[in-house]
Chain A
Amino acid sequence: MTDVATPESSPGATAGEGEPLLLQGDSITKSFGGLVAVDDVSFSIPRRSIVSIIGPNGAGKTTFFNMLTGLYRPTQGRITFDGRNITGRRPDKITAGGMARTFQNIRLFATMSALENVMVGQHTRMKAGLFGSIFRAPWVKHEEERVRDVGREMLAYVGLADDQFEQMAVNLSYGDQRRVEIARALASGPKLLLLDEPTAGMNPQESARLTEFMHKMRDEKDLTILLIEHDMQVVMGVSERITVLDHGQKIAEGKPDEVRANPRVIEAYLGKQGDKEAPDGDDPEREES
């Protein structure tokens, strides 16, 4: 994995905490026809941090993710990842550059086994092409074995039972599917892991375990994690910084305590005439639209 950051951009490559920035977005805007889904959002993530994006439904969080991972091209603005300008790059290039994601509605390859799913995750870390595969040169065989081993390792790491490895993704339990999705993302060897509502559909115990696991991944895999999350327990427990989006605009940013106390955030979550209770504890937006 190449780690040579071409310093073509990244002005002021250090954040407040002194860690260098891994991801930086400058005035990112995305409009679909007349609808402005993300409006002039600037944003940065220091290396080895865990950052959350929260906001009511339709705030533009997933659109924001899709721009980072290359599924959408920003209408305006610039995204710098690991020192490189990745604005509007192809998703597979961005993945190769070290960004991996999971999806809000799990999107595994349904009829492939758990292991095969994770092997696809390593696509950008493999070299075998058409002719290499047809003639199955020794190095191709070794590569296959290596990828298989890494796949098993990743599945074990996320806590999937051995006997589930060869199960088809579609037959796995919901929790296991979430696990496999994270394993598949990890398999691509990312620097930045994007998790889109990883605790959706989990009970509080499972969410707590995932929170713990996020810390573990960050420390052991040297990861930076960006997550979209609705469960405030998780958000407040895991995030070092929180960005709040509402109607496509960034309305607040900062440490969990600061965000919790921010009147605009409270307003966005509870409405203007709502009472003064902070939006932690129960999550009003749990149900997905």
Chain B
Amino acid sequence: MSVVAERFNRHPNLFIALGFIALGLMFPFFFDSGAGQMQTAVQALAYVAMALGLNLIVGFAGLLDLGYVAFYALGAYTMGWLGSGFFSEAGGGDGLHILVSGQITALPGVHVNFLLVIVAAVIVTTIAGMLIGLPTLRLRGDYIAIVTLAFGEIVGRIAINGDEITVNGTPLTAGRQGITPVDKIKLPGLDQFQALDLRPWYFVALAIVVVVLIVNFRLRDSRLGRAWVAMREDEVAAASMGVPLVKTKLLAYGTGAAFGGVSGAFLASFLNTVNADQFQFSFSIFILAMIILGGLASIWGTVVGAIALSIINFYLIPEVFKNAPQKIGLNFDLTELSFGIFGFLLVIMMVLRPEGLIPERRRKIELHEGVGPTSGVGKTVVEAKG
């Protein structure tokens, strides 16, 4: 017994992770494979992966990114472009098929193996993440937020108007109509996933989250992770200690964006559509709210925050409390109030527990004891984040 206790003390995260995974593995067997709860759970897991990606940028490296939706969009469009009938002229109308099998090979359009699409999504979003990082390199705090916000908007606008942007007569996106249907995931050795059988989707989403978690933990306790935190605390001191600011920032943007891309590609396939209306500014705030609710820079906090907000957004508001307004004699749709409810939750949170549900120990100290005498310029960065 004491051996277990000792191990737990040495690797608490490993044990929490094992518990989390065990719970995650059991969850789908409590519900019907096509149940609404399963739908919520799959989306929640995808959002956990995105929140963890954004946490790496905002929480670890202290770069307030308000345009995270751009990476969701780019990941989703990568899936849409490489796994649907959207480019119907490809291959002279017969379609272009790379490492796919089954009925898909008979369909027109571009159809690429899901694993390759994921790789492509990672590459596209990493590059995009670094590109958006470039103009912010000389900026701090709020100014980074404004530039990234603009980037998110640019990508969103291009998505909406992409049906009129044509290259060789082919539009870039399908705008508000959406690219649909999108290829269902097909993994080697397994049948193509079905829209009404959600368990396989769930396990893939869980696998993505586990991988993202491992990457997060390993990076946090590494040379790079320390450099991120050092940079967040005091850029000048970090540079003077040998941290190359440009490279370190770009790695944060790139890595964080890649998670958004993977998750976006997965969601595109799961939701069976890549629709420009999905990629609005409010989505960036939604993901950011998850992190703040859970605890900025805290990995487990981010997981809890993402699950909590997803459940509220996809289950509690539209299903459980759907009829609450009617019951008290009001006539409106509760989902229209979603963002009001999130905002209210955040305000409550800021008053009662500003460090989040599961705070990171550093943030806790900052918020409760002040940043103290050793902080010079770093302080402005911290303030800007709050």
Contact with A along B215-243 (1 / 0, CB 8 A): 10011001111110110011011111111
Quick check: B242 and A133 within 8 Å, CB to CB?
Answer: no
Quick check: B245 and A92 within 8 Å, CB to CB?
Answer: yes
Interface pick from B309-317, B332-340, B366-374? B366-374
| Residue B255 CB within 8 A of the other chain | yes
Asked, given contacts A129-B224, A133-B219, A134-B218, whether A110 binds B243 with beta carbons under 8 Å apart, the answer is no
CA A119 to CA B370, docked complex, whole Å: 24
Quick check: B373 and A92 within 8 Å, CB to CB?
Answer: no
Closest Cβ of chain A to B370, distance in Å, is 8
Task: Name B216's closest neighbour in chain A (CB-CB).
Answer: A134
* Residues in A116-150 with C-beta less than 8 Å from chain B: 116, 119-121, 123-124, 126, 128-130, 133-134, 136, 140, 143-144, 147
Most buried by B among A100, A107, A111, A128: A111
Asked, given contacts A120-B227, A126-B223, whether A106 binds B374 with beta carbons under 8 Å apart, the answer is yes
Closest Cβ of chain B to A191, distance in Å, is 14
Task: Name B251's closest neighbour in chain A (CB-CB).
Answer: A130
Contact with B along A176-198 (1 / 0, CB 8 A): 01000000110010000000000
Contact with A along B242-281 (1 / 0, CB 8 A): 1111000001000100000000000000000000000000
CA A119 to CA B230, docked complex, whole Å: 10
Contact with A along B353-378 (1 / 0, CB 8 A): 00000000111011001011111101
Contact among B237, B239, B362 for A103, CB-based, below 8 A: B237
Contact among A133, A170, A188 for B223, CB-based, below 8 A: A133
Quick check: B236 and A120 within 8 Å, CB to CB?
Answer: no
Contact among B222, B241, B363, B366 for A128, CB-based, below 8 A: B222
| Residue A105 CB within 8 A of the other chain | yes
| Residue A238 CB within 8 A of the other chain | no
Quick check: B378 and A110 within 8 Å, CB to CB?
Answer: yes
CA A184 to CA B378, docked complex, whole Å: 17
Task: Name B233's closest neighbour in chain A (CB-CB).
Answer: A109
Most buried by B among A112, A121, A133, A174: A133
Quick check: B227 and A109 within 8 Å, CB to CB?
Answer: no
Most buried by B among A70, A128, A130, A143: A130
Quick check: A124 and B223 within 8 Å, CB to CB?
Answer: no
- How many chain-A residues does the 8 Å CB contact rule pick out? 46
B237 contacts across to A, CB distance below 8 A:
103, 107-109
| Residue A168 CB within 8 A of the other chain | yes
Contact among A107, A111, A134, A188 for B242, CB-based, below 8 A: A188
Contact among A107, A119, A133, A185 for B236, CB-based, below 8 A: A107
| Residue A223 CB within 8 A of the other chain | no
| Residue A91 CB within 8 A of the other chain | yes
CA A35 to CA B301, docked complex, whole Å: 49
Q: List 30 A-B contacts (CB under 8 A).
A: A70-B239, A90-B239, A96-B242, A100-B241, A106-B373, A108-B234, A108-B237, A109-B229, A109-B238, A110-B233, A110-B374, A110-B375, A110-B378, A111-B362, A112-B226, A112-B362, A120-B226, A120-B241, A121-B241, A123-B223, A123-B227, A123-B243, A126-B223, A128-B222, A130-B251, A133-B219, A134-B214, A134-B219, A170-B373, A171-B365
**Other CB < 8 Å A-B pairs besides A111-B233, A111-B363, A188-B241, 15 of them?**
A69-B240, A91-B242, A107-B237, A108-B237, A109-B230, A109-B233, A109-B238, A110-B372, A123-B242, A124-B242, A130-B224, A133-B223, A144-B222, A169-B374, A171-B372
